Amino acid sequence: MIDFDQLRRWPDVEAPELVAYDATDRLLLDTAREAVVAHPDGVVVIGDRHGALALGASDLVDGAELRVHQDALSGELALAANAEALGVEARWRSLPLEPDLVADARVVLLQLPRGLDALDEIAELVAAHAHPDVVVVAGGRVKHMTIAMNGVLGRHFGDVRAGLARQKSRVLTATSPSPGSGDPAWPQRRRHGDLVVVAHGAAFAGTSIDVGTRALLAALSAEADAPGLAQAAHVVDLGCGTGVLGASFALAHPAARVVATDQSWAAVASARLTAEANGVAGRVEARRDDAGASLPAGSADLVLLNPPFHVGAAVHAGIAHKLFDGAARLLRPGGELWCVWNSHLGYRAALERTVGPTRQAARGPKFTVTVSTRR
């Protein structure tokens, strides 16, 4: 038996109010137990946060290998770290959200994603490639679940049932997959003027362009001839999402090379497709990474950043500060961090402290764009 209380979130952000597992993990494992034990070779885990689901399921499959997809790189690393710390003999393969993940699967344990598009992409993939008798056991915290989730699952499965809530979590069980007849709906694409945005379901803002991102794009375009931008040869789009900032910059500055990096699988896969769709794939490398940690220190002339200010459901500034630290590490002295943030967050002091002298490039009713020069 896995002792869930031993699990940690590390290397994800840790704080007293942030947990490494919740009642949904236990409910999913209890609900799916019979099916998992009956089909140990056909078990797939999707959306596991920090390893509770995969390690719990591995306890039931007698050494069989699980297939696992976690959008966040920190989740993958936490699963591995927890397996090692607990001395668990679990076997699993981490896979992208692609057909091999779910081919012929008999049981899918799913921590429901927050977004309906993310759920739609997962459900579409499972329905198209899993065994016809697959059972999808999808759970979440009741406060994060909406009736629309039943509808999304219902588009891809003939039977969707809601279980009773337990400790404020609930499970939806979907069976009778109906594979669509046409091309997959995901990833999706949309044109915005000169830019095409391609998005997987879990990517931030989907195929639209976030208002904060727009504010940063406008500020970048207003100062496109300034030396810090015009002469930037090595650019990092940090926390790139669908890669809007990196692709736009590459289009506007034909000599620049961009690394678009994010810890989300959906983001990196989307950024790669966005770069291809805009004809800049030769100069934009998409890389899954934690705050750019695998890139050399001092290697960037310019970092573009629209940081998140939510961690999962809990409001927490930890990630933004981690990305400021990452930007400071990546920039060469004199290099610039262009950052957009909700004005009420007052990040300026943190940027001054972490990166260097910071000026305001633009300010609207909601957003502030700052330029920090690496000291």
**In the complex, which residues of this chain contact ligand SAM (CB under 6 A)?**
204-205, 210, 213, 239-241, 244-245, 262-264, 267, 290-291, 306, 308, 319, 322
Write out the two tokens for 159.
């039977």
Residue 204 beta carbon to ligand SAM: minimum distance, rounded to whole angstroms? 4
SS3 102: helix
Q: Helix H segments across the chain?
A: 23-38, 52-58, 73-86, 99-102, 116-129, 147-156, 211-222, 227-230, 244-252, 265-277, 318-330, 348-354
Residue 252 beta carbon to ligand SAM: minimum distance, rounded to whole angstroms? 15
Q: How many CB atoms lie within 10 A of CB 301?
A: 21
Q: Which is nearer to ligand SAM, 134 or 217 (CB)?
A: 217
Q: Which is nearer to ligand SAM, 43 or 319 (CB)?
A: 319
Q: Which is nearer to ligand SAM, 137 or 327 (CB)?
A: 327
Residue 89 beta carbon to ligand SAM: minimum distance, rounded to whole angstroms? 29
Residue 367 beta carbon to ligand SAM: minimum distance, rounded to whole angstroms? 12
Residue 213 beta carbon to ligand SAM: minimum distance, rounded to whole angstroms? 4
Cβ contacts of 117 within 8 Å, gap of 6 or more: 186, 199, 201, 202, 206
Nearest to 128 by CA among 155, 96, 93: 155
Q: Which is nearer to ligand SAM, 160 or 247 (CB)?
A: 247
- Cα of 79 vs its chain's centroid, Å: 16
SS3 350: helix
Q: Which is nearer to ligand SAM, 58 or 213 (CB)?
A: 213
Residue 210 beta carbon to ligand SAM: minimum distance, rounded to whole angstroms? 5
- The b-or-e profile of 233-265 (16+ CB within 10 A means b, else e) is ebbbbbbbbbbbbbbbbbbebeebbbbbbbbbb
Measured CA to CA, the distance from residue 358 to residue 360 in angstroms comes to 7
Residue 214 beta carbon to ligand SAM: minimum distance, rounded to whole angstroms? 9
Query: CA torsion sign, 290 to 293 to 299 to 303?
Result: positive
Q: Which is nearer to ligand SAM, 241 or 335 (CB)?
A: 241
Measured CA to CA, the distance from residue 4 to residue 8 in angstroms comes to 9
Going by the DSSP 8-state scheme, the letter that residue 297 receives in this structure is T
Q: Which is nearer to ligand SAM, 83 or 286 (CB)?
A: 286
